Amino acid sequence: MSGLDLPPGPDPTAGGDAPPPPSPGFTVPLDVTPDGPYPPEASPYPPEAGPYPVPPGAYPPPPPFAAPYPYAPPQTGNGYAVTALVLGLISLFLSWFPGVDWVLGALAIIFGAVGISTARRRGGAGRGMAIAGLVLGVVTVVLGLIFYAVIYAGFGGTQCTYGC
């Protein structure tokens, strides 16, 4: 004998698939029920628990399918402040052209004032840009007044020297 001798298997020529005979010391348990060998109240397993708890510090589970997401918080930007700053910069660069400096400077001052009041209502969002636009608008208007006075005085003096 080689140690790998196995008991003989079922006879393939015999008809049907009959279960093997029980082993010599096997007896049928008396507590076998149609639901299983144990009644439900005496199950060897713990009762079925709910879903696993979320460990601390972990992300919460996603919302169920097709649940609406909460609304996004309102934006805190200040469009008046941005407009005042852009108009102030453009008016400063275009202050060499007569008429343009007055219009863009006045618009920068108006949008700067509205931007400051809007920033006060929104907790300070864009207040610095609004002030910068307001200051640039005032500087442009003052430069426009200076250029107007210099040009007017310059042309006024030349006209009188040639035959007033």
The predicted-structure confidence for 7-46, as pLDDT tens digits, reads as follows 666 665 665 566 666 666 656 555 555 555 555 566 666 6
Within a domain: 72: no
Residue 53 has pLDDT above 80, yes or no: no
Which residues lie below 8 Å from residue 143, measured CB to CB, with a gap of 6+?
Answer: 92, 95, 101
Sign, Cα dihedral of 150, 151, 156, 161:
positive
Residue 57 has pLDDT above 80, yes or no: no
Within a domain: 132: yes
The predicted-structure confidence for 78-121, as pLDDT tens digits, reads as follows 899 999 999 999 999 998 887 888 899 999 999 999 999 999 88
Within a domain: 4: no
The pLDDT of residue 137: 96
Residue 164 has pLDDT above 90, yes or no: no
Residue 132 has pLDDT above 80, yes or no: yes
This prediction's pTM: 0.51
Q: Which of 6-10, 69-73, 117-121, 137-141 has the highest mean pLDDT?
A: 137-141
Within a domain: 115: yes
Within a domain: 138: yes
Residue 153 has pLDDT above 80, yes or no: no
Within a domain: 85: yes
Within a domain: 43: no
The pLDDT of residue 150: 84
Range of the domain at 152: 79-161
Work out how many domains the chain is built from and give that number: 1
Within a domain: 147: yes
Length of the chain (residues): 164
Exposed e or buried b for every residue in 89-125, given b needs 16+ CB within 10 A? bbbbeebeeeebbbebbbbbbbbbbbbbebbeebeeb
